[in-house]
Amino acid sequence: MAAAVQHQSKPVWAPTVHSRWGNDIYYYVGEKITIHEAFDSYGAALALCYNLDNNSWQEVNLMGKEVLELGAGTGLVTIVASLLGARATATDLPDVLDNLRDNVTRNTRERCRYTPEVSVLSWGYNLERTHPKSVYHYDYVLAADVVYHHDHLDELLATMKHFCQPGTTLIWANKVRFSTDLNFTEKFKKAFHTALLFEDGEMKIFIATYRESGTQRHQWDLV
């Protein structure tokens, strides 16, 4: 007897994706968004964009806010944040910056209140030298699908700590793929006051704030 084939229903947050000539087409904030060299159609970036677009979290409002995206990749999250009225900056490594800049520019030109920026950012421990906290301060730090099976997760956590200062809200979306994801999540919870904003199977979105020294606890310190 042939083995039964299991069909996994499409998550509500996963949009209908139209692919054409190497581009994926999405619809967020009432706009058509064309992404070149897109990947992982069920990735955490889509879950994050869906929830931001649908105003799922009353405590999150990007309008007029300074927003930094870590590991922006193809730029979808920055594009959606910009369409929602944020002053957004997309960051990633130099080798992906050309495609990132092209995607962000093409999808935000003459559509947004503020022109988003694109810049190089390598995760690490000495960011005060290149990105001093007195200058680089953000209302929100966004990160989606940045935790992979690689050797730079400690640098990622250090980067999150650097930019998540008092007054900053960090939102991290992740689809668990490897055991290293779980190890990083535990370190993340120890480093920040955290709460789980969204969960759908292995897809999770956390909200986090600066953890002050001492015994003071935050209302979001729930998980």
63-76: per-residue pLDDT in tens?
A: 999 999 999 999 99
**How many helices (H) and strands (E) in the chain?**
6, 10
What are the structural domains of the chain?
Answer: 41-210 (3.40.50.150)
Residue 95, Cβ density class (10 Å: 0-12 exposed, 13-18 middle, ≥19 buried): exposed
Q: Rounded to the nearest 10 degrees, what angle do helices 153-163 and 179-191 cross at?
A: 30
Q: Rounded to the nearest 10 degrees, what angle do helices 76-83 and 97-108 cross at?
A: 30
The sign of the torsion formed by the CA atoms of 145, 39, 82, 13 equals: negative
- Per residue in 78-109, pLDDT (tens digit) is 999 999 999 999 999 999 999 999 999 999 99
Please report where in the chains the tokens 């619809």 appear, as a residue: 27
Q: Would you say residue 212 has pLDDT above 90?
A: no
3-state secondary structure of 172: strand
Of the listed ranges 6-15, 100-109, 173-182, 194-203, the least confidently predicted one is 6-15
